[in-house]
Amino acid sequence: MYIPTYDDMLTAHARIKPYIHRTPVRTSDFLNELTGAQLFFKCENFQEPGAFKVRGASNAVFGLDDAQAKMGVATHSSGNHASCLSYAANRRGIPCNVVMPSTAPQAKKDTVRRYGGQITECEPSTTSREETFAKVQAATGGNFVHPYNDPRVIAGQGTCAKEFIEQADGLDVVMAPIGGGGMISGTCLTLSNLAPEVQIIAAEPEQANDAYRSFKAGYIIADDAPKTIADGLLVPLKDLTWHFVSKHVTDILTASEEDIIHAMKLTWKHLRIVMEASSAVPLATILKNKDRFAGKRVGIIITGGNVDLDILPWLK
């Protein structure tokens, strides 16, 4: 198992610069007063495909040599990685095949197709996803870009934390949602080298809390088909992401479905941006644990903004 290095992250940042945005950092006096902390939101929902995963996907796609690229790329994803890999492949002019659960938000399927990605649907479980993908890859021969358990992807995701530290001085904590752990692993990779004094805290839905249970147990616990409004956080940790989580994450906090929806509404209203339920989980956990964060400078990575506007969770 190859463990990506800080130099890999720096190489990735130079490689992907033409294909990503250096996303802004937003603040809200209201949310600061509500939580008792100073919150800084890194808006990865402002990336062109609407999610941070464009960083890792672009690093993987543009790191291929010409012979590899000719075969295209392939992956399985609940949505954002599929969208971002399709975007990167489109920019390079190569094919992209993705396996997505049938329950993935229509907005995410639409984004994949807009960038030319070919979708094969599967049942909403990790087992079905991986079995269906094996068939698609065998048929297409595309280079497999795993959504998170891939050194190229983790190095790319680590570029977000590099920018964040440059944009917001003196952070005490950096938080991000955790599903498979790609963003958290990239954050660990970067901050353990660039700012080791900064705590890294992951946030997870109570109804899909396998990373939390893994963290407490000291080994990977994988749920096959959890159900949560945070559809981007349905997948389990793998060996490479577990390496980073187990070594560098300070804690994993969880939030209920009601907590997540409430935090999502607050950020839509007071940051005035579109963000996914998955992205609201860190704020939801801060609101549950105000004493822990009081007086601290907390960086929160808003991971994505691909939302079905016709079925917002508070309208159900």
Q: What confidence tens digit (pLDDT) does each residue in 76-106 have? A: 987 899 999 999 999 999 999 999 999 888 8
Say which residues have a Cβ less than 8 Å from residue 65's Cβ, sequence separation at least 6. Answer: none
On whether the 6-52+151-315 domain is CATH 3.40.50.1100, my answer is: yes
pLDDT digits (tens, 9 = 90+) for 164-219: 999 999 999 999 999 999 999 999 999 999 999 999 999 999 999 999 999 999 99
Say which residues have a Cβ less than 8 Å from residue 44's Cβ, sequence separation at least 6. Answer: 23, 51, 52, 160, 301, 302, 303, 304
Domain ranges of the chain: 6-52+151-315, 54-144
pLDDT of the residue at 196: 97
Let me know: does 65 contact 86? Beta carbons within 8 Å: no
pLDDT less than 70: residues of the chain: 316
Q: Give the 3-state secondary structure of residue 221.
A: coil
Q: What is the DSSP string of 17-69?
A: GGGS----EE--HHHHHHHTSEEEEEEGGGSTTSBTTHHHHHHHHHTS-HHHH
* Domain 54-144 top-level CATH class: alpha beta
Fold match flag (6-52+151-315 vs 54-144): yes
Alpha-carbon distance of 160 to 149, in angstroms, equals: 17
Q: Give the 3-state secondary structure of residue 180.
A: coil
- Phi then psi dihedrals of residue 73, to 5 deg: -130, 160
Buried b / exposed e over 118-155, threshold 16 CB at 10 Å, is bbbebebebebbeebbeebbeebebbebbbbbbbbbbb
pLDDT of the residue at 3: 97
